[in-house]
A and B are shown apart, each in its own frame.
Chain A
Amino acid sequence: GAVVSQHPSRVICKSGTSVKIECRSLDFQATTMFWYRQFPKKSLMLMATSNEGSKATYEQGVEKDKFLINHASLTLSTLTVTSAHPEDSSFYICSARDPAQGQHGYTFGSGTRLTVV
């Protein structure tokens, strides 16, 4: 089946630095990828929709200059948390849609736990 690889699985960074998280579709081409954020014991909140070759669409309340999304190829989307602060510490999860599986062919990555110290 479709596989989505997310890297790194865990990252610790200092306040003020930037962190890049990668989301790769391994065996399919994903024209659309999604980025979610999950706080402890909370649900997944959609941050943005990433479309290959175009600008990402951000959900209300999500700072596009803070969370930079690049979907430069059909198999890779990246999320960069810029000037990270402790409140950005969270579990970030991507998902990719496999067009071959139709409109609802979503596959999730394994998540990235970001800790900002």
Chain B
Amino acid sequence: GENVEQHPSTLSVQEGDSAVIKCTYSDSASNYFPWYKQELGKGPQLIIDIRSNVGEKKDQRIAVTLNKTAKHFSLHITETQPEDSAVYFCAASTNDMRFGAGTRLTVKP
């Protein structure tokens, strides 16, 4: 089955800096790669996603890149703000969704 690895597990940045989180996946059949933000005690919220026929997607301060050949994808957050502090999960999907281990992002004011 699909195995998703995510790094780093924790990330601390200064407000205004960029944050990058990287994931790799094992199943070449995976064709959908969402990123979720989870705040304490809540369910995950989709923040951006990318499909396997696209290499890059951007939405304001958030961007995701996908390298199908290498089976890795990354989340980039620019101009970070304290409210970006949360746990971020990558996932890879075919018929079901498998999550990475999560990255706890802390943005220091």
Residue B65 CB within 8 A of the other chain: no
Residue B73 CB within 8 A of the other chain: no
8 Å CB contacts to B: which residues of A66-117? Answer: 91, 93, 95, 103-104, 106, 108-111, 113
Contact residues in B for A110 (Cβ distance below 8 Å): 42-43
Q: Categorize the interface residue count of chain A.
A: 20 to 34
Q: Which secondary structure dominates chain B's binding surface? A: strand
Query: Which of B13-21, B56-64, B75-83, B99-107 has 4 or more CB atoms under 8 Å from chain A?
Result: B99-107
Residue B8 CB within 8 A of the other chain: no
Contact residues in A for B43 (Cβ distance below 8 Å): 6, 93, 108-111
Chain B residue at smallest Cβ distance from A104: B32
Mask: chain B, 9-49; 1 = CB below 8 Å from A; 0 = not:
00000000000000000000000101010000111111001
Residue positions of A touching B, CB distance < 8 A: 6, 34, 36, 41-46, 49, 91, 93, 95, 103-104, 106, 108-111, 113
